Amino acid sequence: MKYRDYLSDQFFCIVTHIISMVGCTFFLIAVNIDKGIICILMSVWILIVCLYLNIHYYFRNRHYREILTQLNNLDKKYLIAEVIDIPVRSDDKFYYDILRASNKSMIEQVSKSQRERKEYKEYIEQWIHDIKTPISAMRLMCENNKSGVTRKLMVELEKVIHLTEQTLYYARSENVEKDYFIKEVILSVVIHDAITENKLLLLQNHIAVEVSNCQYSVYTDEKWIGFILNQLIANAAKYCSKTPFLSFEARSDRSKIILSVSDNGTGISESDLPRIFDKGFTGENGRINKNSTGIGLYLCKRLCDRLSINISAHSKKGIGTTIELSFPKGDFVKVQE
């Protein structure tokens, strides 16, 4: 609280004292009280008022600062009424009661929203679990009845599987720390697994793939990094050129291992590049390709943040795009809360 604001709040109190002092002065003069005595009385009066205002300001300001400190230390600031002390002043108690009633309503709304989100998340996870059964059945039928049509169906099934996995990771992205397992992973192994998983998509788009110098080991979650690589491969296929090419290359750089995933596709415009990891952002390419959702790279960034992996993009329009994943070196990578 600023002292000037405090004095503004005490305006009527100060004016009342001034009027009282003026009236008292005229009365004392009227009854022939010595002017020296009147000056002493008024000086003492002014001193007492100034002393009171300053002492009152000190304690009120300290009280407000304590409340602000408690507020700043709270993660959930709407719980402030639960931690502050019950005030002594009656006017403060009035506002305290209003704040508690308001917070109670807020807590009820937050709890309701959390329950609804939890139920929706559980429904999505159950739906994904159930949908995998007919997908697996369709894949098995296509594999047992190979033809030109079933090969095309298999490609579309891979896309469906990729989208369901994306939905599952999106539903779990807020609580991924409950579903991770950090271990030593060889980059070449997870890369080849991702290529195998997307082989039909790569073959359909005639994408040549090269893996070089990826013998490094990193500490990460194999399933999560597999999802990230699947997303990068899907993007390379979605925005490929006439003679598409996709390369995976790793290098060691001081305290980190950097995996570069490069393609020679349509590339990303310079104005869109800073926002490609934003949720729902599709950019210029997304407006051309109506199937873009702006979720894939957002999920990649979110998972990388939880795994302490730095993800960055470099691109030139019409030349291609390179996504770099920087894995910290060490015996263990702690998942960020």
Query: Model confidence over 218-276: pLDDT tens digits?
Result: 998 898 899 899 999 988 888 888 899 999 999 998 889 999 999 998 888 888 888 99
Helix 90-144 with 148-172: angle, nearest 10 deg = 160
Give the pLDDT confidence score for residue 238 in this predicted structure: 86
What are the residue ranges in the chain where pLDDT is below 50? 331-337
Give the pLDDT confidence score for residue 32 in this predicted structure: 86
Calculated CA dihedral for residues 326, 327, 329, 331, nearest 10 degrees: 170
d(CA 226, CA 222): 6
- Cβ-proximal residues to 104 (8 Å cutoff; 6+ apart), any chain: none
Burial (0-12, 13-18, 19+ Cβ within 10 Å), 241:
middle
Q: Is 136 helix (H, G, I), strand (E, B) or coil?
A: helix
- Is the distance from CB of 41 to CB of 28 less than 8 angstroms? yes
d(CA 164, CA 160): 6
Helix 296-306 with 148-172: angle, nearest 10 deg = 50
Confidence (pTM)? 0.63
- Is the distance from CB of 248 to CB of 260 less than 8 angstroms? yes
**Number of residues that make up the chain:** 337
- Cβ-proximal residues to 215 (8 Å cutoff; 6+ apart), any chain: 186, 187, 188, 250
- Is the distance from CB of 307 to CB of 256 less than 8 angstroms? no
For residue 121, which of 160, 49, 186, 178 has the smallest C-alpha distance? 178
From-to residues of CATH 3.30.565.10 in the chain: 176-328
For residue 183, which of 226, 228, 217 has the smallest C-alpha distance? 217
Burial (0-12, 13-18, 19+ Cβ within 10 Å), 226:
middle
d(CA 146, CA 78): 60
> pLDDT digit string (tens) for 110-123?
888 888 888 888 88
d(CA 206, CA 130): 33
Q: Which fold has domain 176-328?
A: Heat Shock Protein 90 (3.30.565)
- Is the distance from CB of 266 to CB of 239 less than 8 angstroms? yes
Q: Residue 41: how many CB atoms within 10 A of its CB? A: 15
The sign of the torsion formed by the CA atoms of 52, 53, 59, 63 equals positive
Give the pLDDT confidence score for residue 45 in this predicted structure: 92
> Which spans in 198-308 are helix H?
199-204, 222-238, 283-288, 296-306
For residue 175, give both structure tokens. 């609580």
Q: Is 296 helix (H, G, I), strand (E, B) or coil?
A: helix
